[in-house]
Amino acid sequence: MPEKYDDLDGWKDKDSRAENLTAKLQHLMDNCLHNMGVKEMEEISENMRMLLEQGMFWIEREDFDRFAYDLEAFLKWLMEFIADKEREFWNE
C-alpha cells in the first residue's frame, strides 16, 4: 500500500462506524471475489483507489461522518457489482 495510506488505522478508534464498515469490506474482499476476472478486479481496484483518496481527504479534515458515508456507498456499489457478476457467471 502506498505510504500515504499507511496511517489509515489511525481513524479506527475515532469512529466505530468506519471500523464496522471496513470489516464488512474486508469480508467481501476475502470471500466474494472468486468469480471475478482481471477486468472486474481492475474496476474494483480503481474504485477502491478513489475511495482511499477521498477517505484520506475526509480523515485529514476529521470529517468521519463523510468518510463513513463514502465507505458505505462504496460497499453498496461493491455488493451490487459482485451480485451482477455472479449472475453473469452463473448465466442467470
What is the Cα 54 distance to its own chain's centre? Answer: 11
Q: Which domain holds residue 79?
A: 18-89
Residues 56 and 21: their CA atoms lie apart, in Å, by 16
Q: How many CB atoms lie within 10 A of CB 81?
A: 17
Asked if residue 83 belongs to a domain, the reply is yes
pLDDT at 17: 87
> Looking at the chain, which runs of residues are DSSP E strands?
none
Q: Is residue 1, in this structure, part of any structural domain at all? A: no
Residue 62 covered by a domain: yes
In a domain, 70, yes or no: yes
pLDDT digits (tens, 9 = 90+) for 18-75: 889 999 999 999 999 998 999 999 999 999 999 999 999 998 999 989 999 999 999 9
Closest CA to 33 of 91, 71, 89: 89
Domain count across the chain: 1
User: Does 6 map to a domain?
Assistant: no
Reported pTM:
0.81
